[in-house]
A = this chain, B = another copy of it.
Amino acid sequence: MSVQAKNTRERLIEAAKKVFSEKGFFESHISHIIEEAGTARGTFYIYFESKEEIFKEILKGIVEELKRRIKPVNVKEDPIDQIVRNIERILDFAVEERELSKIILFRSYDTSFSTIVDEFFKEVTEMVKTSLEKGILMGYLKPVNTEIIAQAMVGAVKEIMKNAIEKGNIDTYMVAKELVEFALGGLWDVKGRC
């Protein structure tokens, strides 16, 4: 694959990301992508077998990047801060890569692709659940229904991501911190209660 070719492929991917993020899978047409990329119709099919393929590649890229941003919590440092940082990095992705984030959070895609995204969120939910269980076992956390609470927490972050995409420039660290504090401390004002 020559440099030129690599450029063409890259151009198509970038174009597709833009188009998919604006219109979703179904309302994006090959004509939109090649027009945006400035290539001919046939050129698209040199690099990609189908519309499905390029979409899947983009989708997998998004999921990989998101996974990369979630780092396992180690015991050497403050676990709470590590969780905040993980959420911060996820929100950063929403802000930095608005187009890509839109694709998985706002835009519609073929039922057959859902597994890719759903799988990812399920994995994350499982991770959170395991962490909660650990925290409970260690006596730090209340003995909650970990499955439910894990789902709730993932749903919460997703929704905040959506808002981050729309708002654009938010203080992701602050938001992540607020979220974690809320999850840990809850809403009750306990000042005078103990």
Contacts and interface: CB of A to CB of B under 8 A. Distances in A.
Interface string A126-161: 000000100110011110110011011111111110
Interface in A146-187: 148-149, 151-160, 162-163, 175, 178-179, 181-187
Interface stretch (A50-58, A61-69, A108-116): A108-116
A148 B153 CA distance: 13
Nearest to A152: B156
A93 B194 CA distance: 39
Contacts of A26: 26, 108
Interface of A is mostly: helix
A93 to B, nearest CB: 16
Contacts of A184: 186-188
A136 B106 CA distance: 32
A78 interface: no
A120 interface: no
A27 interface: yes
Contacts of A188: 140-142, 184-186
A49 interface: no
B24 A179 contact: no
Contacts of A183: 182, 186-187
Contacts of A149: 178, 182, 187
B24 A108 contact: yes
Nearest to A108: B108
